[in-house]
Structure 1
C-alpha cells in the first residue's frame, strides 16, 4: 500500500465525517476514547510530537508520525493540518494496515 492510498483513505474518512482535526479537539477525543488512530505531521514541533506520543500511549491509541502538514491538509481538502484523529474503527484498521508497510512513517501501536 502506498502513501497515496493512506492519504486517499484519510480523504474518504473526512468526507464520511469520521475525522477530527486540531490540537485541542483531538486531545479531547483521545481523552474521551473516541479516536482509533492519530496522525501527527512529521514537520510538527518536537513539543507537539512528544505531547501526542505521551497522550496516545497513556490512552492506548495508535499514533502515526510521517506525513507533512501539507500532505495531511491536501488529503482532507483543507489548508495544512498538523493533527488528525480517526474516529471510525473501520477506517482506522484500513489505514493501520497500510502504515505498517511504510518505512517513511513512524507507526506506534
Structure 2
C-alpha cells in the first residue's frame, strides 16, 4: 500500500483522538504504555530516531518508518512531525496492514 493510505488512516486516528504527536507527547505515550504503534518520519534526525526506537523497544511497540516530516504533520493537520504514536489497537493494526508490516 502507499503512503497516501497510511496518511488517510493517520488522519482518521487524529480526528478520533487516538494519536499523540510532538516530542513530549510521543515519549509520554511510549513511557506510559499507551502507544500501540510508533510512526517515525523517514527524514527524522538520527538522534531522534535512536531515542524513539529505544523507547519503543523498551515498551514492545512496533515501529514503522513512513513519509517525510512535512507529510506526516500535514496528514494530521499539524506542523511537521518527526513521529506520532498511535494510541488505539484498531488504528495501529490498520496502519500496519496498509504498510504491509
Structure 1 residues not aligned, in runs of 5+: 102-109
Give secondary structure in 1 for the equivalent of 2:20.
strand
1:30-87 Cα offsets, whole Å, 9 max, x none, are 1111000011111111000011111111110011123101110110112211120000
Corresponding residue for residue 42 of structure 1: 42
Q: Give the TM-score of the pair, scaled to structure 2.
A: 0.93
Cα distance between partner residues in 1 of 2:97 and 2:66: 15
**1:57-76 equivalent positions in 2, closer than 5 A:** 57-76=57-76
Q: Give the TM-score of the pair, scaled to structure 1.
A: 0.87
Structure 2 residues not aligned, in runs of 5+: none
Farther off after superposition, 8-17 or 65-74: 65-74
Cα distance between partner residues in 1 of 2:89 and 2:30: 14
Structure 1 segments, 4+ long, off by >6 Å, are: none
Aligned length: 101
Cα deviation, residue 9, structure 1: 0.4
CA RMSD across the alignment: 1.1
Corresponding residue for residue 95 of structure 2: 95
Give secondary structure in 1 for the equivalent of 2:85.
strand
